[in-house]
Structure 1
Amino acid sequence: MPAQGKHRRSPSTSLRRGLAAVTAGGAVLALPVIGATSAFAAPAPTAAPQQSVAPAAVAPANSVAKAAPAQHSVAAGETLSKIAREYSVSGGWEKLYEGNRKIIGANPDLIHPGIKLTLGTVADASSGGTADKAAKASPSAARGAEADRADRSERIDAAPVAKTAPAAEKAVTYTNDLDGWIKESLAIMAEQGIPGTYEGIHRNIMRESSGNPAAINNWDSNAVKGTPSKGLLQVIDPTFQAYHVPGTSTDSYDPVANITAACNYAADRYGSIDNVFGAY
């Protein structure tokens, strides 16, 4: 059996104490070595110091900025209701009127172009108020933006309607026949407070003259006295003159004048021409 040789452990490749490195200048730098298999732990990067920021003086987002009381110059055709809707005035036109009563006067429906209305303190746009309108330079743009927010349940007033002078009454024309004469006489009698109806007048005319305005009685006692009965209702001249109605003709043969005077006489003596059924 061969003699056992003495085996020697080869030195570890790991340097346990140090490693000498020679630089070009011959200087030696000794670096401690942990082991070949060990890794150097890179130092943690130092975080940059945070800047200290002073809190900005910002108003809370939910705070409502208040604007100074806004004003509106009234244009022709505008109403308090329309202005209140355009500027979303809280309380509507009644509140707007209450705040401007002194300048408007007693009638809220009558506002004059050119007067300046105080709209009150208004909120900014975040609250749905009207500060955004007050901040806008163009009133037309403000009106357009507000149109969709108009409260349709609020009283909607049209622009005040200018009162026109009443139209002149159309002149009534009457036909130149018995029907027209009776109707014209009735209109005059109504103005004078003389009673009578179409039927009562027509009935007595047909008995007295058969509707002939030129009829005359030359044979009765009145004719003998020189005052014959004339016209539609056979009125003698003294009676016609005593009961003539102003505004009608003074000719006793005139149909309207004759009817009106006769009815005036019948009203005085019988209460109405309607009460006459025979000679009167």
Structure 2
Amino acid sequence: MRSTISGYTALSKAHKFSAAGLVTAAGAAALTFALVPQASAADAHSVAAVKTVAQSAQDFGATQDSALAKAADTATAEGKADAKAAVKTKTDAEAKAKAGTERANRSTERKAIKAEPAAPAAKPAAPAKKAYADNVDGWISEALDILRAKGIPASYEGIKKNVMRESTGNPRAINGWDVNAVNGVPSKGLLQMIDPTFKAYHVEGTSWDIYDPVANITAACNYAADKYGSMDNVNSAY
């Protein structure tokens, strides 16, 4: 059912009762006024009262309209907020579901992580150089290690007997009277070599100084191996 008072539509039940009372009062007053055309001053006062009641009814309706409009606006705002909250809840739920799916999917192919190049291996420390005594025995021992590495035959005994015969173990010995000296190329060092022979049979890795004891021994043994098979086979000047 629709009731209209001064443009007001769809009043609540309580509002309908209140408005009906006001309308009834206003109608009664108007009827009384119509029945007594020759009203007195008191009657005029009653007419004013009726007008006041009618105006109050109209103001009441306007007030209710404003209240209902505000209530409608509030309901609309609350509805929008609820809808927004519902959308956010749905979005959050979808995001969580997606994250859970990504975490659970372990079969997805993954790019291989480029391994850092391995640090170059440290070079092994060079073995400590063997120490040799600075005497005839030490010189012969060092010379023998070099000769073995080069594949040149010789023995300790064969070297020492020739060293003692040629120079008595003096690395600075020099012969100034034999034929080589006469020809201007005297024999020098532990095994009395001349410069051309020393240079021709010099062993790589040793000194180029003919007076160096190890260089002199190795060159002489290299020459003896070429000419006699080994220094062990030399028993006299060579």
TM-score where L is the length of structure 1: 0.40
- Structure with greater helix share of residues: 2
- Structure with greater strand share of residues: 1
Question: Which structure would you say has the larger Rg?
Answer: 2
TM-score where L is the length of structure 2: 0.47
